[in-house]
Amino acid sequence: MTSTNPALAVALEKAATEQARRYVITGGPSSGKDDLIEAIHAAGIPCMAEEPGREIYRKHRERLGRHLLKEDRRAYSLEVLEAFIAEYTAHTSGIRFYNRGIPDGYGWEGFFGLKPTPQLEDATRTYRYDTVFVLDPLDTFEDPDDIVWAKDREIRRVHELIVQGYYDAGYEPVFVAPDSAAARLDFICANLRLPRPSRGA
């Protein structure tokens, strides 16, 4: 587990009273996102616990009794978007990391052959993030929650569509190379000019 660097704790406390800064962690399946989010929490950095889409997916799947089909995706996507907007607007000061961001919707809808909804277009223009970090895929693929259904050959396609969605939304993502979660978090913090968690006492 990553130890919180006292210098990082001071920086976070100082930032807590300043203007909100929002950072997205995203990537396709098998990118190591969950491990990185866990490392962010362990370092004491404010962060979403779980991407909203997973719990909402479970609810839709339980109601329908099966995995979602293309025709189910609109209602699902709008509910996910609503959750992302609520998460965004609830944060009013200081640093916060997000487990995926609103423009992720472009990638997922594109994968299912759907056009972005007007609601997604409006939200993308209204709710902006300061920096977007894209995790390059790892060599392994695991899905303990059985939520991500993608086959190996689809992983790259989903990843590419998510990345393109952020470019289309006007972002210049920062790519994070495959590595341990601790090393990736160090890279991200260095990029944001924050003390590196691995240098904690």
Query: Would you say residue 8 lies in a domain?
Result: no
For 19-60, what is each residue's pLDDT tens digit?
A: 999 999 999 888 899 999 999 999 999 999 788 888 888 888
Q: Which residue has the higher pLDDT, 1 or 19?
A: 19
In the structure, what pLDDT confidence band is assigned to residue 200 with cuts at 50, 70 and 90? low
Q: Is the pLDDT of residue 5 over 90?
A: no
Q: Is the pLDDT of residue 128 over 70?
A: yes
Q: Is the pLDDT of residue 184 over 90?
A: yes
Q: What percent of the chain has pLDDT over 70?
A: 91
Query: Would you say residue 182 lies in a domain?
Result: yes
For 50-107, what is each residue's pLDDT tens digit?
A: 888 888 888 888 888 878 888 888 888 999 999 999 999 999 999 999 999 999 999 9
Q: Closest Cα partner for 163 from 135, 139, 127?
A: 135
Q: Is 114 left (phi over 0), alpha (psi -120 to 50) or beta?
A: beta
Instruction: Report, as an integer, the average pLDDT of 135-156.
Output: 67
Q: By residue range, what is the domain housing residue 94?
A: 18-191
With tokens 């052959």, the residue in question is 113
Query: Would you say residue 98 lies in a domain?
Result: yes
Query: Would you say residue 135 lies in a domain?
Result: yes
Instruction: Report, as an integer, the average pLDDT of 148-169.
Output: 84
Evaluate if pTM is beyond 0.75. yes
Q: Which amino acid is at 116?
A: P
Query: Would you say residue 23 lies in a domain?
Result: yes
DSSP characters over 86-105: HHHHH--BSEEEEES-TTHH
What is the CATH number for 51?
3.40.50.300
Number of structural domains in the chain: 1
- Residue 165 CA: distances (Å) to CA of 10, 50, 91: 35, 21, 23
Query: Would you say residue 197 lies in a domain?
Result: no
Query: Would you say residue 133 lies in a domain?
Result: yes
Query: Would you say residue 198 lies in a domain?
Result: no
